[in-house]
Amino acid sequence: MRTHQLVQSWLEDQLAAGQLAVGDRLPGERTVAEQLGISRASAREGIRVLEAMGIVRAGVGSGPGAGTVITANPGAALGSALRLHMATSHLPIGDIVQTRLLLETWAAAHADAAAPAMSDAAALLDAMDASAHDEKEFLRLDALFHVALAEAAGNVLIGAMMSSLRESIEGYTLRLTRTLPDWTATSKRLRTEHRSIHDAILNDDGALAAKIVASHIEGFYDEAGF
């Protein structure tokens, strides 16, 4: 078993036994090394891998913010992995579109109109109106809007997957906009569809919201020539 797997297994055991919890600080590298019978350098390496996975966050300096704290960010590692696979072209775009349809139509169908994330989504609609001519900013806000809908559905894992996926394809989506015949017309259509999705959720019509989301996603890729 590799060093980082030893450290990960140890942390899993500590969490399962209630010895540690999210928000707690990890023991120092020396203590971890002694408990696992490995070198301090190996313990440090294992903790750094956990940090890259979004399981812990390393603080610097001294004081209340110092030390390595256990966090809950399942999207961190997934986002990094997806970005790398996008860069190596190991994720076919058709598969990405299908995954988006699966996740985002489910999220729209199950979004709770009373969820706090729906207020965030409403604010993002206004922000997109103000940034309609800035393609990069518009797409950033667009991604946040769709993630907000996933959060409103109340499934933490779906939300993390959505956030990671949208983050990983941000650069590719921006490149796609350069192939659009008329960005002004496209952004206007997207904003209209966003508001229709939002309204359908507020009216507790998840089936309609999911239908609009599917057309919304497919329409963008069709218009971009995919």
Tell me the pTM: 0.73
Burial-class residue 196 by CB neighbours within 10 Å (0-12, 13-18, 19+): middle
Q: Check: CB of residue 191 under 8 Å from CB of residue 126.
A: no
Q: Residue 90's pLDDT band (boundaries 50, 70, 90)?
A: low
d(C-alpha 45, C-alpha 70), whole Å: 16
Phi-psi region of 31 (alpha: psi -120 to 50; beta: other; left: phi over 0): alpha
* pLDDT per residue as tens digits for the range 135-147: 999 999 999 999 9
Q: Where are the domains of the chain?
A: 3-70, 75-223
Q: Residue 92's pLDDT band (boundaries 50, 70, 90)?
A: confident
Average predicted confidence (pLDDT) for the chain: 86
Q: Residue 67's pLDDT band (boundaries 50, 70, 90)?
A: confident
Q: Check: CB of residue 174 under 8 Å from CB of residue 89.
A: no
User: In the predicted model, what is the mean pLDDT of residues 192-220?
Assistant: 97
Distances (CA, A) of 38 to 10, 29, 30, 47, 147: 12, 10, 9, 13, 41
* pLDDT per residue as tens digits for the range 21-43: 888 888 888 999 998 999 999 89
User: In the predicted model, what is the mean pLDDT of residues 204-226?
Assistant: 93
Superfamily designation of domain 75-223: GntR ligand-binding domain-like (1.20.120.530)
Predicted local confidence at residue 5, as pLDDT: 85
Please tell me the least confidently modeled range out of 1-5, 15-19, 71-75, 205-209: 71-75
Distances (CA, A) of 211 to 98, 107, 151, 218, 226: 14, 12, 19, 11, 20
Predicted local confidence at residue 213, as pLDDT: 97
Instruction: Return the CATH number of the domain spanning residue range 3-70.
Output: 1.10.10.10
Q: Is 56 helix (H, G, I), strand (E, B) or coil?
A: strand
* pLDDT per residue as tens digits for the range 142-174: 999 999 999 999 988 888 888 877 777 777 788
Tokens of 226: 């995919």
User: In the predicted model, what is the mean pLDDT of residues 106-112?
Assistant: 96
Among 73-87, 124-138, 144-158, name the most confident range: 124-138
Q: Is 188 helix (H, G, I), strand (E, B) or coil?
A: helix
Is the confidence at residue 102, as pLDDT, over 90? yes
